[in-house]
Amino acid sequence: MSESPQTIRVIDSHTAGESTRVVVDGLPEFTGMLATAIEWRDFLQSKHDWLRTAVVSEPRGHEAMVGAVLVEPTQPDCLAGVVFFNNVGYLHGCLHGTIGVAVTLAHLGRLSEGDNKIETPTGIVTVRPPVEGWVTVQNVRSFRYAAAVPVEVEGWGTVHGDVAWGGNWFFLIDAGGTVAVDFANLDQLTDFTCAVREALEANGITGEDDGEIDHIEIFGPPANDDADSKNFVLCPGREYDRSPCGTGTSAKLACLHADGKLQPGQTWRQAGILDTVFECTLEKTPEGGILPTIKGRAFVTGISELIVHPDDPFRHGIHHAR
């Protein structure tokens, strides 16, 4: 007789077009004393990586899906802890995902009026309850680490970009004469940004403390007056962010501020490749860098129970089985 199937309860949402699948029940038991979001991430990665691949990979998920697990917070003033992942691994932070978590918690009736703190592996982020689907998030400190770094990219010549932290490490490029930031150019944008990421790795170009630059962001003019800029963001793996990418936009704000182009009190409207927009402001921090606030719109799209059947050859996702 085979074992009984495992069930994992999830709530799906999308933020500005980018999906988030939040695991709300069915996590493996954590037996340690303290379980910070970092400990949870390490525990899942080392012992239960099947959960990640089962939740976001085909046949239940898809390559562009971001997953999140809700865990007990360790800080008494935090509402929840969260760990984010995608089809290739774990993310340090994820703001479209945090907005997805916020509408999920609101749907479950777990969000209070005013500020709600959430523990993530990058630090504490603060969310406010949705207003007509718009959620405001204050991110962790963001900063530019290096400006106008040259890198030789095979087939593209020398490309310059800024290295910045916004909760993940980004290389930010002005599209200039490379590829126009337009939905019609998705394949070229993907090929170009993948080539840039490979070149950064081959040349040992990293963020602080050897932090791997796994997100590449390219900017061009907006399609309309609703935004100040439009981006394409390559995520770890080969998929692109359908939203304007909250951690990437935080990195962008840090660069704009470092260049004297954006000050506290001013609003920056960042469009993504689908022309959906995040509205953003910043505060300065005493250590240098900024505290970004990002507002984006999200909708819950489904509630389901995933079934992991022991006899299913793809119970842990198609990539996992290869």
User: Which of 78, 194, 235, 245 does the annotation list as catalytic?
Assistant: 245
**Looking at beta carbons only, is 164 or 315 nearer to ligand PYC?**
164
Smallest gap from residue 195 Cβ to ligand PYC (A): 20
Residue corresponding to tokens 């050859």: 313
> In the bound complex, what is the minimum distance in angstroms from residue 66's beta carbon to ligand PYC?
5
Nearer to ligand PYC, 162 or 241 (CB): 241
In the bound complex, what is the minimum distance in angstroms from residue 215's beta carbon to ligand PYC? Answer: 7
Q: Is residue 61 a contact partner of residue 67, using CB atoms and an 8 Å limit?
A: yes
Q: Kindly state the smallest distance separating residue 188's Cβ from ligand PYC, in Å.
A: 21
Q: In angstroms, give the least distance from the CB of 313 to ligand PYC.
A: 29
The secondary structure of the chain, three-state, reads: CCCCCEEEEEEEEEECCEEEEEEEECCCCCCCCCCCHHHHHHHHHHHCHHHHHHHHCCCCCCCCCEEEEEECCCCCCEEEEEEEECCCCEECCCHHHHHHHHHHHHHCCCCCCCCEEEEECCEEEEECCCECCEEEEECCCEEEEEEEEEEEECCCEEEEEEEEECCCEEEEEECCCCCCCCHHHHHHHHHHHHHHHHHHHHCCCCCHHHCCCCEEEEEECCCCCCCCEEEEEECCCCCECCCCCHHHHHHHHHHHHHCCCCCCCCCEEEECCCCCEEEEEEEECCCCCEEEEEEEEEEEEEEEEEEECCCCCCCCCHHHHC
Interface with ligand PYC (CB under 6 A): 18, 66, 91, 94-96, 235, 241, 243, 245-247
Cβ closer to ligand PYC: 62 or 309? 62
Minimum CB distance to ligand PYC smaller for 171 or for 315: 171
Would residue 255 show up in a list of annotated catalytic residues for this protein? no
**CB-neighbour burial class of residue 314 (10 A; exposed 0-12, middle 13-18, buried 19+):** middle
Residue 169 tokens, joined: 């490490």
Query: What contacts 322, CB < 8 A, 6 or more positions away?
Result: none
Nearer to ligand PYC, 27 or 101 (CB): 101
Least separation in angstroms between CB 190 and ligand PYC: 15
Catalytic option among 78, 94, 255, 280: 94
Rounded CA-CA distance 43/298 in Å is 29
Please indicate whether residue 245 is annotated as part of the active site: yes
Of the two residues 251 and 315, which places its CB atom closer to ligand PYC in the complex? 251
Q: How far is the CB of 181 from ligand PYC (least distance, A)?
A: 17
Supply the residues annotated as catalytic: 94, 245
